[in-house]
Amino acid sequence: MGDLCRYLEASALRFPERVAAVDEDGTELAYEALERRASRIAAFLVEHGVRPGDRVALVLPKCVAGLTAIFGILKAGAAYVPVDWTGPAERVQSILEDCGVRVVFLDRRRTGLHTGAEILILLSANTGSHEGAAAGSFSWEQVLEHAPLEPGAIPRRPDDLAYILYTSGSTGVPKGVMLTHRNATSYVDSCSSVFDPVETDRFSSHAPFYFDLSILDIYVPIKHGASVHLIPDDLGKNPKDLARFIAERRITVWYSTPSILALLAQFGDLGRYDYASLRLVLFAGEVFPVKQLRLLTSLWPAPAYYNLYGPTETNVCTFARIPLPVPEDRTEPYPIGWPCSHCAALVLDPGDPSAAAGVPAGVPSGPEGLLYISGPSVFAGYWGRPQETAAAFMERDGTRWYNTGDVVKRHPDDGFLYVGRRDRMVKRRGYRIELGDIESCLYQHPGIGEAAAIAISNPESGVRITAFLSAVTEEPPSIIEMKRYCHEHLPAYMSPDAFVFLPRLPRTSTAKVDYQVLSRSVSQSEAKAAP
Amino acid sequence: MDNVKEEIRQYILSEFLPGEKPSNLRDDTPLRTSGILDSMATLRLVGFVEERFGIEVQAHEASVDNFDRIETIASFIQSKAAGQS
């Protein structure tokens, strides 16, 4: 079908009165109302010059208004660019500038941002106060007063750009992953066949809109006439409140990173509530430490558990159901499984591409190698970066294969096992982090002469990042000063856990920073600190 | 009161600021709003406070109002302890 708007339009006809989306405070929006509001937003955007292919940003907390804006933007033929509304100003601005947004849906608490957009649509938690609006800025209420868009007024094609998700870039500048309608619908449709969603389902939406997990959260429930319960940042980080929320909303399908599920298991006091409604627990974004998964599944024994895998560039491309119970003596993480029906996978020895072994199914177990993915869910390219786009793909047998950069091992029964990476990208709390991105930020601190970021993965506590630094002055900046600096310039998930000042960083014989020496020193000090 | 502050300071220094000079972490140094404690670190600190001082901290009490400075955390612990006895 290749048209994300079609999901909403079809559900609005089939289930006009059913609840489509619910805010944190319990405010509900029915399908017919969501469809009508999205059409009003689309008409407003078109009237104010938004054309197919234009970019429209969302700098907003997670809320039903934001979800409505997404469908309005798509109906106008434009692409949405969701951004962390709490993020450091320069990072937010660099994203808006990079893709040249024409319109921004902006939370009133961030009106100090330089968006570069012609039009601002301002939203606030307490609506109604929209005095002093500058030229080119409109309130959410004004936009919703617009007459709806005529059906069919804007042509929509499967290969139109639908959204851009920005991820950490190795040189300190975030890069925009462009995804089309077809990229998303091919994935959403494969979720339909695996998870059997129905209109009585109640989906959680835990991931922020700028995180790729949100694609399942938004479009799978809307396609099936189910309801989606939006969880803003603050609630999403608080395991006790979240545990109550999942029970009270009688959530049937939960999807998040393992980090959040591990927090729920450890701190959520899950035994206090009834989770009889919960039928599916999906997780993605990082390896789930087995100890935590065992604890979670002992507290929530009834639902089916699935491990989903896929970089932002491919959407989810492999999945595995976790057989329960988790054995007491198991320590090895669970596999990422077999390719989804819409994808094909290929494992290549990075040293020798001719030694390739194609998958998709039933092939013998082979050696480790880099995982390549092809299929309709694979992204269109990086915004404004043709060279990086070309470098991410390989042509083979007339097919374009995306190099995930992930090293996997094939198991004859279980599918792929995730082994690790050969570059400097790490995953933490489900977010992708290029360690070079952190270093380039640290180098900009006036007191820092050298910087190297090291990530060490621990099967129980996850990934810890240590920054090794040398100072330009005799008295280095304090650790608190470095924490504060990172807090102001990096997203929270990228901020190092520890800072270590050295007189100078160790170098290899070719004068490069010797990361191996630094990694060993972190591992040794962790081994010493262990009880 | 001073002992309570000192225990919190030691915990924060050893868990979240390894290598920092103790004198740099003052009673009024902002913790949450300055990025010293992120949401995960705050959860761990709350867990420590609950266990060490035998109080229960409700989710809404682990707010920036109570948990942004060592001095406010200490007063919060004292008022909770007084309420329980």
Question: Touching check for B47 and chain A: CB below 8 Å?
Answer: yes
What does the pLDDT look like over A78-111, one tens digit per residue?
Answer: 999 999 999 999 999 999 999 999 999 999 999 9
Q: What residues of chain A, 234 to 293, have a C-beta less than 8 Å from chain B?
A: 237-241, 263, 267
Question: Touching check for A461 and chain B: CB below 8 Å?
Answer: no
What does the pLDDT look like over A403-415, one tens digit per residue?
Answer: 999 999 988 889 9
CATH 3.30.300.30 residue window(s) in chain A: 425-529
pLDDT class of A524 with cuts at 50, 70, 90: confident
Helices (H), A76-121: 89-98
| DSSP 8-state code for residue A48 | T
Q: Return the pLDDT at A164.
A: 98
Mean pLDDT of A263-271: 92
Closest CA to A4 of A152, A166, A186, A151: A186
Q: Given an 8 Å threshold on Cβ–Cβ distance, is A488 in contact with B35? A: yes
Distances (CA, A) of A506 to A441, A503, A511: 20, 10, 9
Chain B residues close to A484, C-beta within 8 Å? 34-36
Higher pLDDT, B7 or A124: B7
CATH numbers and ranges of domains, chain B: 2-84 (1.10.1200.10)
Residues A392, A374: Cα–Cα separation, whole Å? 12
Closest CA to B63 of B81, B45, B83: B45
Cβ pair A199, A224 in contact under 8 A? yes
Chain A residues close to B58, C-beta within 8 Å? 240
Question: Touching check for A488 and chain B: CB below 8 Å?
Answer: yes
CATH 3.40.50.12780 residue window(s) in chain A: 4-236
- pLDDT at A128 > cutoff 60: no
Cβ-nearest to B39 among A237, A480, A500: A237
Cβ pair B9, B22 in contact under 8 A? yes
Chain A residues close to B34, C-beta within 8 Å? 480, 483-484, 487
Cβ-nearest to A241 among B19, B35, B59: B59
| CATH value of A425-529 in 3.40.50.1000, 3.40.30.10, 3.30.365.10, 3.30.300.30 | 3.30.300.30
Tell me the fold of A4-236: Rossmann fold (3.40.50)
pLDDT class of A423 with cuts at 50, 70, 90: confident
Q: Given an 8 Å threshold on Cβ–Cβ distance, is B20 in contact with A479? A: yes
Q: Which residues contact A473 (CB under 8 A, 6 or more apart)?
A: A447
Q: Given an 8 Å threshold on Cβ–Cβ distance, is A480 in contact with B18? A: no
Q: Return the pLDDT at A24.
A: 96
Q: Return the pLDDT at A512.
A: 83
Mean pLDDT of A197-201: 98
Mean pLDDT (chain B) is 91
Q: Return the pLDDT at A360.
A: 41
Q: pLDDT > 70: what percent of chain A?
A: 94
What does the pLDDT look like over A294-336, one tens digit per residue?
Answer: 999 999 999 999 999 999 999 999 999 999 999 999 988 899 9
Chain A residues close to B38, C-beta within 8 Å? 492, 495
Q: Given an 8 Å threshold on Cβ–Cβ distance, is A267 in contact with B35? A: no
* ipTM of this predicted structure: 0.91
Q: Given an 8 Å threshold on Cβ–Cβ distance, is A483 in contact with B35? A: yes
Residues A322, A315: Cα–Cα separation, whole Å? 20
Q: Given an 8 Å threshold on Cβ–Cβ distance, is B19 in contact with A240? A: no
Q: Compute and round to an integer the Cα radius of gyration of chain B.
A: 12
Q: Given an 8 Å threshold on Cβ–Cβ distance, is B25 in contact with A480? A: yes
Question: Sheet containing A19-22: which strands, arranged edge to edge?
Answer: A28-30, A19-22, A227-230, A202-205, A253-256, A280-284, A304-309, A318-321, A338-339
